[in-house]
Chain A
Amino acid sequence: MRARTLGSTRGRAAVDRVTDAAHPIDVRAVVKRFGARSRPALDGASFVVKSGRRACLLGPNGAGKTTLIRILTGALAPTSGEARVFGATPTEPAWGVSRRRVGVVPQLPGMYRDLTAREYLELVRGVYERGDVDRAAQRLGLTRKHLRRSMAELSGGWQRRLTLAAALLCEPDLIVLDEPTVGLDPVAAREVIAMLREATAGRTALLCTHNLAEAEALCDDVVVLRDGRVVLDDSIEELRRRAPAHAAIGVREGAEAAVQALRELAVDARVDGARAVFLATDPEANLPPIVKALVDKGLSVFECVATPPTLEELFLKAVQTTAQDTNAHRDGEELSS
């Protein structure tokens, strides 16, 4: 809205150029304290979401995810640092234009009893100054019957569709989703994930979630927050490439024989059912020589499977590593003092 006060078309065009060139999300050393003596909700968080990428923001309860989203939407101001959306912060003239390029699905919002679903979508359209209510509703499967009902009368799944329709109404370039499936039953959650997959295609997205399966299904990149700090920021593909895969080898002579032979090859294997399992970095390069060595030892290999680590494993590893680092750092500080 402030950008409009620039007045001239030239000014508006300049704002558009600036915001088009910038990353959709650029968070730099953001600190947020609610009170001078309180523990920071965000403690120097920094990350970037590039155009067209879908990033998930993961972290345990109290990690600062919702605070970060509120800072990105301009609802809260950072204590220090800056969070830019399409190159602008809320204190800059270009913010109005940038903010209108963002659709937000809030976490478990309340529903008005005295407004119908259509009235709410009309309100959203009025605020964004663009969008087609009927088209947005139709895309999410909301019928005229749904639109005539009070927002609070809709079921949980339909309420979530409504908030998603509101976020997509303005055809945003960036969509921010704060725990979009929390509180839904598994069937409704699956439906919402399917809709999100469609809605985020070709858009930049930031998905804040606890649900790792949901993050894995919808996102390219992962940002892990812990105690207000970013402890991991990478693409899921790259993380998988770097992290060891779970390898399982089956031999006709039995799992014990396979484990014995693998240990002779200096591979730390263990028995898991009828298979010998171990962690293998770069399985494409390292597993064929291992299989060949087992065959050379006279074992009849009938199976070799490499399973990439799940996002859950990557997440837990990142969080545990940070916790150990933090504890080690604290111990060091205590010793030095």
Chain B
Amino acid sequence: MPLLKVEHVSKSFNDHIAVDDISFTLDAGVVYGILGPNGAGKSTTIRMIMNILVPDKGRINLFGASMNEDLKNRIGYLPEERGLYPKMKVADVLTFLGELHNLTPADARQRAMRWLERLDLAGHAHQKVDTLSKGMQQKVQIIGSLLHDPSLLILDEPFSGLDPVNTNLIKDIMLELKNEGRAIMLSTHMMETAEKLCDRILMINHGHLVLEGPLDKLQQRYGSQSLQVEYNGDAAFVRELPMIQKADIYANYMEIRLKDAAMRKEFLKIIADKLDIISFKSQKSSLNEIFIREAGETHA
């Protein structure tokens, strides 16, 4: 049984359609990436999962039940818009957040101290939040979403504003939680990060689902469609071949995109007959390339 099941969910604000008929499922032990440019509908989707916004259409199931307030205690949430009480002490804010998730004050405080230790913030436990740097505040807020040992962790742009050292620290924690069998949903517009962390991805643009599936399969599929060939001879005929989707042909070099990866072998046979091939390369595409290809536009 999937941990999270989103079925045909839509949401619009006034006349603007923010999310249009999105469906996906999320299983335990998986890092699931929601990718898309700014304004694609990632945060709206997440807010609907969190029951902060109510979908206009569609259904959301969590832990086998429809979303209700009790389930919130099993979810850890880092919103895109960060915010803590600036005048409260770090340890007090974390205790408060833990208590909101039904921990006892003593337990919440103890857990908070353990995490602060782990994230190098133990020395700041009794300082007020607004005396901390942006990055530190962000780490405090990440701790806030982890305190109550959630089965599902939803992180909206968790790395924005973090330096490389802290980024790695958080990545390690995420992978560790994944290996413990928790589900992690990671929303980001940074494809490179998603590439390294995610098992499965969902790409959305303008509220529409662009692409969904396991990352390695997607990359293979798209990767093997792209070919780069160095050759000697006249390659003009390549343009006319039926399996070609797009061809950039230069004097001794060409970049080819096939309609289907399965046609690679046939394509090779044809050009090997007519050209003197020096090198041949077929690469995994980056998520960035895949996105540009599918959404047909660049993104921020």
Decide if A and B are genuine partners.
Answer: no
Binding site for A on B (CB under 8 A): none
Binding site for B on A (CB under 8 A): none
